[in-house]
A and B are shown apart, each in its own frame.
Chain A
Amino acid sequence: MTLHLTNLGLIPADSAVPDAAGHFGAFGGRFVPEALVAALDELAAAYAAARTDPTFLAELDHLARTYTGRPTPITEVPRFAAAGDVPGRIVLKREDLNHTGSHKINNVLGQALLTVRMGKRRVIAETGAGQHGVATATAAALLGLDCVVYMGLEDTRRQALNVARMKLLGAEVIPVTSGSQTLKDAINEAMRDWVTNVADTHYLLGTVAGPHPFPQMVRDFHRVIGVEARAQLLEEFDRLPDAVAACVGGGSNAIGIFHAFLDDAEVALHGYEAGGDGVATGRHAATITGGSVGVLHGTRSFLLQDDEGQTIESHSISAGLDYPGVGPEHAYLAQVGRAHYHPITDAEAMDAFGLLSRTEGIIPAIETAHALAGALQLGRTLGPDALILVNCSGRGDKDVATAARWFGIELGEGV
C-alpha cells in the first residue's frame, strides 16, 4: 500500500472549523499581545498558501517517506488485550516508530519547511517530555536552522536523556526557572522570546493549542496519522474501528488520529487525560474532565484555574501531558459530544505501560500509556467483536529512568 501525504494528509480547504479567525465554536481564537498579531497573520497566510501548493506538499511528502519513515504500520496486540481482560481486538497505530520516537516529527517537519518558506533562520520551541524539543532540534539540523528549546527546569531533570539528545543535535536548551518550571512556563518563555525576535524567528509550537493558526495548522500536519490508520484498517481488517483512543495533553496526537474519523458517526472517539493522583485529589492534568473554560497561551479552551482565573499547576507522571490547558478543538469536540474525555491516573497508566512492555515487546511512552490504559478500560465494556484503534504516539526510551523508579528497578547495579 502506498500512502501519499500530497493527496491524503491535509484538510480540505472547506473544513467547517475553525472559522477564518480560528474559532472552534466558542473556543480558540487569538488572545495575544498586539506585537504578535502581524507574525500570526504572516504565518496564517504562509500556511494557507503552502497547504495547497504542490511543491510544498511534495517536499513534505518526500520527507515523511524518506526521513520520518511514513507510513507507520499498524500492529494488533492480542496478548496485551488478553492480559488486560479485553475480549475484543486492539490495534496500535505505530507513531512510536517514527524518526525521533513519536508523532511530534509530523508537525515539526511541516512547520520547519514553512519557516524556510517565510525566510526565517531561527526556530524556537517549548518542550515538556522533550519529544517536541528533540523533533524540533532534528528538523533544525536537517534544514540548517538555528534552534533554541525552552524546557522547564523540573522537566530537564525528569527528561535528562532528551536534553542530551537536543544538545547533540546542535540545539540550545534553556531551562526555565519561572512559575512551576514545567511546560506551561516553557511556553511563556518561548512567547517572550518570539515577541522579541519575531522578525527572524518562527515559534515552532508543538501542540494543537496556542493562538490561531497553530491549532489548525498543527492538526493538519498530524492528520496523516488518522488518514493512514483508517485506510490500513479498511485494508487489513476490512472495517472501521468501533473506537479510537489517544492520550490528550495539549492534544496533538489525539487530534491527528481523530480527525479522519470525525465523519464516521459509528466510530467513537475517546481522549485520555492525565489523572495524576486522581482528579478528586486536585493533583492532576485532566483539563477537560476537571477544568473550566478560560484563556491561556493565546486561546480559549478548558484549563485548570482557580475562581479568579489564576492557572493551577498540573500534575502528572508524564511530562508530556503535564499541562493545565488543552487544544481548543478538543474543547469543541467535547462540547458538541463528538469525542469523550476521561482521566487515567499515574498508577493506571504505569500498569498499562508495564503490561504492553511484557506482553508485546513494545515499551510505550508514559504519555501513550494513558491511551493504552483507557483502551483496556473501554475494551472491557465492549464485546468480543469490538475493534479498538489506539494511537501509540511515542516510544518509552526517554521514560526508562522514570519507569525503573516506578517499578523498583535499580539502575547501574548490574543484575
Chain B
Amino acid sequence: MSTLHEAFARARREGRAALIGYLPSGFPSQAEGIALATAMVEAGVDIVEVGLPYSDPLMDGPVIQAAVHQALTGGSSLANVLATVEAVAATGAPTLVMSYWNPIERVGVGSFAARLARAGGVGVITPDLPPDEADAWLEATTSAGLDRVFLVAPSSTDARIGAVAGATTGFVYAASTMGVTGARAAVGAGARELVARVRAVTDLPVAVGLGVSTGEQAAQVAGYADGVIVGSAFIQRILDAPDHAAALVAVRALAGELAAGVRAGSPAVTR
C-alpha cells in the first residue's frame, strides 16, 4: 500500500499530475464495483476514491445520484464500503473514502476512522464538513493515521482557503466550479486561479475535481494542478454499458485516455 504522499510524489517525479478516480461502493453491485475500481487502477488511475452511498447526496448531480441510488437499493452498508476499500487498496493504489458527514458522525468519528484504517484506507474526503465543525474529526483522523481532505471552491475567500488548507492533510480538493458533480463541456475557468490561490498558502498537493470527463480536459487541468479527479464520467460509461464486461472495457478505455491526458499536461508540474 502506498500513501497519498507517495502517489503524488511519484507523479511529480514523472513530470505529470496524479489521476484520481471515483466510484461509489456497491455500484452497480458490490463485486462488479470492486472489479471496475481494480480495472481503473490497472488502466492508469493512481488514487481511488470509494464513495460511501448516502441517502441525501446534495453535492452530487444526476449521474452520481443515480449510481448511489442503485447502490443503496442494492443494500449498501458500511461493512460493504470497508470491504470495497480493502479490495481496492489491495491493488496497491492509495484508497480514500468520500463520505457525506452524517454517516461518519452516526457511526462515531473515532470508530469510523479506526475501522477505515484497519481496512487499509488512507484517508477520507468530507464534502459537507467545513473545518469549522471538524474538531473531533481532526483528532480522530490524526489518531487513526488517516489523511483528511477538505474542499475549497471558487467562492472561498483567501482566509477560508487558509483555514481549509490548515486543517487538510494529503491533498486539497479544489472544486473547479460552483455547482454539483457531473461532466461539463468545459472545466471551470476559475479552477486555475483557485489552484494558484491554494498554492500561495500551502505546499500540499492540489487536485481539481468537478466537471472533468475527457483526456483533453485532464491534460488541461494537469497543466496547473497536482491531481485530476474524475467521477461522473466513469459512472456514465458504466450506466451506458449493456453488461459488466462492456463496463470493464469502457472504464479501462476512459482510465487510459485520462492517464494519457495527465501525462500530456504541459508544462510538467513545477513547485
Contact = CB atoms under 8 A, between A and B. Distances in A.
Contacts of B101: 31, 295
A326 B176 CA distance: 33
Interface stretch (B124-132, B250-258, B263-271): B124-132
Given A195-B59, A308-B77, A34 B156 contact: yes
A178 B65 contact: yes
A178 B156 contact: no
Given A188-B56, A295-B105, A32 B156 contact: no
Interface stretch (B23-31, B84-92, B147-155, B241-249): B147-155
Contacts of B157: 38
Interface in A318-377: none
Contacts, number: 111
A297 B132 CA distance: 16
A38 B156 contact: yes
A24 to B, nearest CB: 14
Contact of A35 (B54, B103, B153): B153
Nearest to A306: B106
Instruction: Tell me if A's interface is mostly helix, strand, loop or mixed.
Output: mixed
Contacts of B155: 34-35, 37-39, 198
Contact of B55 (A30, A192, A310): A310
Contact of B56 (A35, A297, A308): A297
Interface string B110-132: 00000000000000000111101
Contacts of B156: 34-35, 37-38
B69 to A, nearest CB: 7
Interface in B49-91: 54-59, 61, 65, 69, 72, 77-78
A305 interface: yes
A310 B61 contact: no
A21 B178 contact: no
B103 A310 contact: yes
Given A37-B160, A188-B58, A196 B133 contact: no
B180 interface: yes
Interface in A208-247: none
Contacts of B130: 30-32, 34, 37
Interface in B126-148: 127-130, 132-133
A351 B61 CA distance: 43
B151 A307 contact: no
A88 interface: no
Contact of A294 (B59, B105, B127, B150): B105
Contacts of A198: 155, 178
Nearest to A292: B106
A309 B101 CA distance: 9
Nearest to A313: B55
- Which of B69, B160, B178 gathers most chain A CB within 10 Å? B178
A32 B128 contact: yes
B262 interface: no
B133 A30 contact: yes
A414 interface: no
B17 to A, nearest CB: 22
B48 interface: no
A32 to B, nearest CB: 6
Given A188-B58, A196-B179, A308 B103 contact: yes
B178 A196 contact: yes
A33 B55 contact: no
Given A196-B179, A294-B106, A307-B106, A34 B58 contact: no
B118 to A, nearest CB: 17
Contact of A33 (B69, B77, B107, B151): B151
Contacts of B204: none
Contact of B106 (A188, A195, A298, A308): A308
Given A37-B130, A37-B156, A309 B105 contact: yes
Contact of B179 (A179, A188, A195): A195
B127 to A, nearest CB: 6
Contact of B104 (A179, A185, A309): A309
B175 interface: yes
A91 interface: no
Nearest to A196: B179
B102 interface: yes
A311 B105 contact: no
Contacts of A307: 106
Interface of A: 21, 29-35, 37-39, 178-179, 184-185, 187-188, 191-192, 195-199, 294-298, 305, 307-311
22 contacts: A29-B133, A30-B130, A30-B133, A31-B101, A31-B128, A31-B129, A31-B133, A33-B59, A33-B151, A34-B156, A34-B160, A35-B151, A35-B156, A37-B155, A188-B56, A188-B57, A188-B58, A294-B102, A297-B58, A308-B106, A308-B107, A309-B104
Interface of B: 54-59, 61, 65, 69, 72, 77-78, 101-107, 127-130, 132-133, 150-157, 160, 164, 175, 178-180
Given A185-B56, A191-B58, 17 more contacts: A31-B101, A31-B129, A31-B130, A31-B133, A35-B178, A192-B59, A197-B178, A198-B178, A295-B128, A296-B56, A296-B102, A297-B58, A307-B106, A308-B106, A311-B55, A311-B56, A311-B102
